[in-house]
A and B are shown apart, each in its own frame.
Chain A
Amino acid sequence: MAQPNSLTTPPPGSDVHMVPAGAPEPVHSAAFPPFETHTFLAQLIWLALAFGLLYWLMANIALPRIQGILHDRSARLAADLDQAQAMKAEADAAGEAYAKSLRDAQGKAREIAQGTRNDLAAAAETKRKALEAELNQKIAASEATIQSRTQEAMGNVRSIASETASAIVERLTGQAPDQASLDRALDSTATAH
């Protein structure tokens, strides 16, 4: 194997450190690379070029584009939200209209039902009244008949009683009582009742 200080050819790339050419290469211990001041100018130049390029790309292309994308998206979202809001309002209005027509129809139906009920009730009432009047009339007629019949019957009762009484008296005494005393006796019994 290769020993230190051997003459073996170093692999390519191992001797291209920024150590001044010709100086004997120390074993990486010469200086701390970040503090090797002779590399500073070149590093700063490359940094300025690279960062300048990056800044230019970002400021002129990348950031305006990303900003545009984000702006477009938020605008699109806002528009979509507005549209959704409008549609929702429309749907709400339609729902309201539906509820209103439903309410109207229900009201109308109730009205019709009430009207019908009223008509039917009125018809029934007139029919009932006519029937009642007829019945009352019949009742009155019947009562009058009953009255007259009663009176008639009551008259008959008196004549029957007087005939019966005169017949009983005639059988018991053998002679007919005079009409006047018979009437008196009948009257006294009638008032006694």
Chain B
Amino acid sequence: MAASIDPGHSVALRPDPIHQFELKSILPFGHLGHQELAFTQSALYMFAAVGVIALLTIVATSSRSVVPGRMQSLAEIFYEFIADTLHQATGDGGKRFMPLVFSLFMFVLILNLFGMIPYAFAVTSHLVVTFGLAALVISVVVIYGVMKHGAHFFGLFVPQGVPKPLLALLVPIEVISFISRPISLSVRLFANVLAGHIAMKIFAFFVVGLLSAGAWSVLSPLPLFLTIALTALEFLVAALQAYVFATLTAIYLNDALHPGH
């Protein structure tokens, strides 16, 4: 490795807010065509999230206490929160999707929160991951909708009580809005996490930059306070985006359960 650069040194000299999103290979498996197969830190974080969720929902509830402990009560709060959200969006028929919505919520929430740990990697800052989850949701909606309602499911694209000539205009719009769902669902989460982490990094760099700028260093507390405020905001975003993802999933699933406006 001839021309590699000490990253610590480069961080001080050139603020690079993108560096934090790089995938690092832990266990390379080689290549498949253009694709590089490796167990990366991203995969490690995913399995760590699964582990944390299992710890919270399985280990913490193993005593099945009627009077719950702290962790069991946390697991119950998450369960009831998601069950309520799902029930509000889909009614009684949505119960079968509880594992899906609950897994999605917990997975996104824990991965977002992992991203808030200093030096940790934010898995949800990669579009392919959020798109994978969104594609899963839309696939479930389409497959379940067609299995349950057959062709009637496509009535979703035909608004009722609209004059026939307008349908020629409205049906394509409905189709486009349906197709854009996985895109908006995935980009919303990805962009929020990405932008938040970049903003935090940039403001943190400002602190360092100002400190090394002679007399200007008296201003360095300003970006520090901004960084602190942004960090708090990002915690909010981390939880909120997980909730938004779960809620939208529930709303889309409602279309599969009750197509036809």
Contacts and interface: CB of A to CB of B under 8 A. Distances in A.
- The finding on whether chains A and B are genuine partners in a shared complex, rather than unrelated, reads yes
A94 B99 CA distance: 51
Interface string A122-139: 000000000000000000
B72 A55 contact: no
Nearest to A73: B66
A13 B64 CA distance: 43
A28 B18 contact: yes
A28 B80 contact: no
B43 A50 contact: yes
Nearest to A21: B28
Contact of B50 (A28, A53, A70): A53
A47 B42 CA distance: 9
B138 to A, nearest CB: 15
B128 A43 contact: yes
Contact of A69 (B14, B43, B64, B107): B64
Contacts of A72: 64, 66
A29 B18 CA distance: 8
Contacts of A37: 34
A14 B4 contact: yes
B165 interface: no
Interface in A61-83: 61-63, 65-70, 72-73, 76
Contacts of B54: 54, 57, 62
A41 B32 contact: yes
A43 B133 CA distance: 12
B66 A76 contact: yes
A174 interface: no
A2 interface: yes
A66 B76 contact: yes
Interface in B18-35: 18-19, 21-26, 29, 32, 34-35
Interface in B26-85: 26, 29, 32, 34-40, 42-43, 46-47, 49-50, 53-54, 57-58, 61, 64-66, 68, 72, 75-76, 79-80
Contacts of A62: 53-54, 57-58, 61, 75
Contacts of A41: 32, 35, 37
A11 B9 CA distance: 11
A15 interface: yes
Interface size class of A (residues with CB under 8 A): 35 or more
Contact of B42 (A1, A43, A55, A66): A43
A47 B39 CA distance: 11
A41 B6 CA distance: 30
A5 B3 CA distance: 5
From B47, B99, B125, name the one whose CB has the most chain A CB atoms within 10 angstroms.
B99
A16 interface: yes
Contacts of B238: none
Contacts of A48: 132
A131 B178 CA distance: 117
B35 A54 contact: no
Contacts of B2: 7
A72 B68 CA distance: 12
A47 B29 CA distance: 16
The 10 closest A-B pairs by CB, nearest first: A46-B43, A59-B99, A62-B57, A50-B46, A41-B35, A33-B21, A66-B79, A40-B128, A54-B50, A10-B4
B208 interface: no
A58 B78 CA distance: 12
Given A2-B6, A34-B127, A69-B72, A28 B16 contact: yes
A63 B128 contact: no
For A28, A59, A62, the residue with the greatest tally of chain B CB atoms inside 10 Å of its CB is A62
Contact of A10 (B6, B24, B39, B43): B6
A104 interface: no
Contact of A38 (B34, B61, B136): B34
Contact of A57 (B58, B68, B194): B58
Nearest to B102: A58
Contacts of A29: 16, 18
B146 interface: no
